[in-house]
Amino acid sequence: MHGHPLRYVEGLPQPGRALVMGVLNVTPDSFSDGGRYADTERAVAHARRLVADGADLVDVGGESTRPGAQRPSADEELERVVPVVATLAREGIPVSVDTMRAQVAEAAVGAGAVLVNDVSGGLADDAMFATVARLDVPYVLMHWRAHSTEMQRHTAYDDVVEDVFAELGERVREAGRAGITHSIAIDPGIGFSKTTAQNWELLRRVERFHDLGHPVLVATSRKRFLGELLAGADGERPPAERDAATAATTTLAATAGAWCVRVHDVRSSADAVRVAARWGG
Ligand SMILES: Nc1nc2ncc(COP(=O)(O)O)nc2c(=O)[nH]1
């Protein structure tokens, strides 16, 4: 068993097991649920189901980050995200905001979000680190090299684990210099400027990332590298049929000491983190 103590982020649950972050993409083009929760009411209803299924927090994202996605304007992202965050926060549901924009992070925290989840690790918006420092909320800093339209042109690494480790380390130090001395969690950025083989190598050696000294978030849910693994005669496994494989990665990530997993199908991964915790005693 991997004796890595679960590292916690202040202000969030500390249940003695990996946390489960449920995905709520309020975008028209997210690759696995695009358009289904475009309006607030449907989004809120889905978030309630995620919590009922065991989500410790709900991650609200207004910008699709799938490869090739076009960016919405800041105003469009605000319109998608803020009403949903405000409604969920009013209901007492812990909400994180998945955004690369400082302006959206600020508005979402103002509406009650308790964590900023920034896939760009502060690279997409120079104002993000200072804004998060001022807001003093936990911050997920993911490894990232370029926006979705460019992302897969930046997959050159010597050793993908050591290079991602080093690049994340530099961002964490930069975040510290900008005043984010409170809770940072790090994320290797599965599927972002990584080939399929590089994704698997990052997962195989995920424990390396504990050496950065911060809680580790792992997000594999329904991603293409799983669809490729499960491909049959008629091609890749469709995204909505990748939840068992996602739950398997959840079990392995939790056993490797991950602080949190970010998933679409909460129930299967909520069960998986409980099995991993009980198995590990
Ligand atoms: N911290 C973090 N946030 C993320 N947000 C969106 C997506 C893209 O996947 P989605 O379209 O399924 O949300 N992946 C991540 C990720 O890997 N890590």
Tell which phi-psi region holds residue 98, choosing left (phi > 0), alpha (psi between -120 and 50) or beta: beta
At 31 the pLDDT is 45
- Spell out the residues 6+ positions from residue 194 whose beta carbon is closer than 8 angstroms to its own: 155, 160, 202
Question: Could you tell which of 142, 168, 221 is best to mutate to test the pocket of ligand 1, judged by most ligand atoms within 8 Å of the CB?
Answer: 142
On whether residue 11 sits in a domain, the answer given is no
On whether residue 9 sits in a domain, the answer given is no
At 173 the pLDDT is 97
CB-count exposure of residue 278 (10 Å: 0-12, 13-18, 19+): exposed
Identify which of 87, 67, 30, 83 has the alpha carbon closest to the alpha carbon of residue 199: 67
117 CA closest ligand 1 atom index: 1
On whether residue 95 sits in a domain, the answer given is yes
217 CA closest ligand 1 atom index: 1
CATH number, position 61 = 3.20.20.20
**Which segments of the chain does DSSP mark as H helices, in order?**
40-52, 74-90, 102-110, 128-135, 160-177, 196-204, 224-229, 243-255, 266-279
- Give just the sign of the alpha carbon dihedral 134, 135, 141, 144: negative
**Would you name the residues annotated as active-site residues?**
223, 262
Distance CA 103, CA 125 (A): 9
Ligand 1 center–CA 76 separation, angstroms = 19
Q: How many domains does the chain have?
A: 1
142: Cβ below 6 Å to ligand 1? yes
Q: Residue 184 carries which side chain, given as an amino acid letter?
A: I
On whether residue 160 sits in a domain, the answer given is yes
Distance CA 124, CA 152 (A): 16
Q: Whose CA is nearest to atom 8 of ligand 1?
A: 65
How many other CB atoms sit within 10 Å of the CB of residue 205? 17
Cα 232 from chain centre: 28
At 37 the pLDDT is 56
Ligand 1 center–CA 24 separation, angstroms = 10
- C-beta separation of 135 from 127 below 8 A: no
190 CA closest ligand 1 atom index: 17
Identify which of 130, 77, 73 has the alpha carbon closest to the alpha carbon of residue 104: 77
ipTM above 0.95, yes or no: yes
Q: pLDDT in tens for each of the 281 residues of the chain? A: 333 445 677 778 888 899 999 999 998 865 455 555 558 888 999 999 999 999 999 999 999 998 888 899 999 999 999 999 999 999 999 999 999 999 999 999 999 999 999 999 999 999 999 999 999 999 999 999 999 899 999 999 999 999 999 999 999 999 999 999 778 999 999 999 999 999 999 999 999 999 999 999 999 999 999 999 999 999 999 999 999 999 999 999 999 999 999 999 999 999 999 999 999 98
Domain span at 162: 19-219+258-266
Ligand 1 center–CA 169 separation, angstroms = 20
Provide the token pair at 35. 């358009």
On whether residue 212 sits in a domain, the answer given is yes
Ligand 1 center–CA 129 separation, angstroms = 19
On whether residue 10 sits in a domain, the answer given is no
98: Cβ below 6 Å to ligand 1? yes
On whether residue 27 sits in a domain, the answer given is yes
23 CA closest ligand 1 atom index: 13
Ligand 1 center–CA 5 separation, angstroms = 24
- C-beta separation of 25 from 33 below 8 A: yes
On whether residue 224 sits in a domain, the answer given is no
At 77 the pLDDT is 96
